Structure 1
Amino acid sequence: MNFSSWPALLVVDVEGNGTNPPDLVEVAALPVRDGHLDKSTAGWWLSKPHRPVTPFAARVHGLTNQVLEGKPGWEEIADEIHAFLGTAWIAAHNAHVDYRALAAHLPKWRPAGVIDTLRLAKVTYPGLRKYSLDALIEHARPDLSEAPGQRHRATFDAFATAQLLLAMATHYDTWGQLIAAAVPPGLPGAPEPEQEPTLW
């Protein structure tokens, strides 16, 4: 894989307050450039939600209402996050969730494409019993020694997802092959289905 051929790409992860639909309480966006993670220019935001964090969500990611007290509301950081994401490709694990949450909070945001590392893993590592982030970390053994925070925080999960993406990308010769395996139908960047030839 020639990583220099990749377009601008951000690996993202979001955490919510546990409601449906969620209010976002944490967003992380980690640039991948030339096959390397660029922690020095990564974006990270905490936000106080309109609705309280549920006890279940707080147990998962540790972001309690007390932790988020005094953090900016989404309206205060939305423009900054939108500008940071720009029109770059994004990658996420189970990307439908992160993409839909971000798109709901940033109505004018349009990424160039959306890579789903969950979908990619099912093609790259067929036959695994599970394809959760934890299961893939156990299978692929990426180097997480420099991962910030802890599991289920957006910064850690974005770092782990980025490492898994780079590991899986080595199984493909070209960006086009990677995209064909990794972008879910209906999401930005999905290859157009081949049209059946017609008489007309």
Structure 2
Amino acid sequence: MNFATWPALLVVDVEGNGTNPPDLVEVAALPIREGRPDKSTAGWWLTRPSRPVTPFATRVHGLTNDALADKPAWAEIASQVHAFLGNTWICAHNAHTDYRVLSAHLPGWKPAGVLDTLRLAKTTFPDLDKYSLDRLIEHVQPDLSEAPGARHRATWDAYATAQLLIAMASRYDTWDQMVAAAVPHGLPGAPEPEKDPTLW
């Protein structure tokens, strides 16, 4: 895979407050440049949700209502996040979730395309028993020595997802081949189905 052929790409991860639908509490956006995650230009935001963080969500990511009490409300940072994401490609693990939540919080935002490392892994490693982020980390053994934060925080999960994407990309010859395996149907960037030449 020639990483120089890749369009601008941000690996994203979001954490929520545990309600349904969720309020955002953390967003990370990590660029991949020349086949490597670029922490020096990454975006990261903590935000105070309009509804309290549930105890279950706190047990997962460790963010408490007290820790978020002095953070800006989403309305104060939404334009900044929107501008940072722009219309680049994004990648996430189980990307439907991150794309849906970000779209709900950023009206008018539409990425050029959406790569899903979960979908890509099912094609790349068809014999795995499951495809959770933890299971893929165990299988691929990416270098996470520079991952910021801790598991289930947006910065750490985005970094791990980026390393998994890079590792799986090496098994594909071209960007288009990877896109065909990684973009979920119905999301931006999905390849158009070939038209049947026999139809009028």
TM-score class normalised by the smaller sequence: over 0.9
- Correspondence for 1:175: 175
Aligned amino acid, residue 97 of structure 1: T
Aligned amino acid, residue 8 of structure 2: A
**Change in CA separation of 1:149 and 1:199 when aligned onto 2, cut-off 3 Å:** closer
- Correspondence for 1:193: 193
CA distance in 2 between partners of 1:186 and 1:197 (Å): 23
CA distance in 2 between partners of 1:148 and 1:117 (Å): 20
| Aligned residue runs from structure 1 range 30-49, under 5 A | 30-49=30-49
Aligned amino acid, residue 186 of structure 1: G
SS of the aligned residue for 1:168 comes to helix
**CA RMSD across the alignment:** 0.6
CA distance in 2 between partners of 1:5 and 1:37 (Å): 16
- Correspondence for 2:93: 93
CA distance in 1 between partners of 2:130 and 2:143 (Å): 20
SS of the aligned residue for 2:15 comes to strand
For residues 35-70 of structure 1, the C-alpha deviation after alignment (integer angstroms, 9 at most, x for no partner) is 011100000000000000000000000001011011
- Unaligned 5+ segments in structure 1 are none
Task: Using the TM superposition, give the Cα deviation of residue 196 of structure 1 relative to its aligned residue in structure 2, in angstroms.
Answer: 1.5
| Aligned residue runs from structure 1 range 51-200, under 5 A | 51-200=51-200
- Correspondence for 1:12: 12
TM-score by length of 1: 0.99
SS of the aligned residue for 1:191 comes to coil
- Unaligned 5+ segments in structure 2 are none
Task: Using the TM superposition, give the Cα deviation of residue 197 of structure 1 relative to its aligned residue in structure 2, in angstroms.
Answer: 2.1
Task: Using the TM superposition, give the Cα deviation of residue 132 of structure 1 relative to its aligned residue in structure 2, in angstroms.
Answer: 0.1
CA distance in 1 between partners of 2:146 and 2:97 (Å): 25
Aligned amino acid, residue 124 of structure 1: T
CA distance in 2 between partners of 1:11 and 1:123 (Å): 19
SS of the aligned residue for 1:30 comes to strand
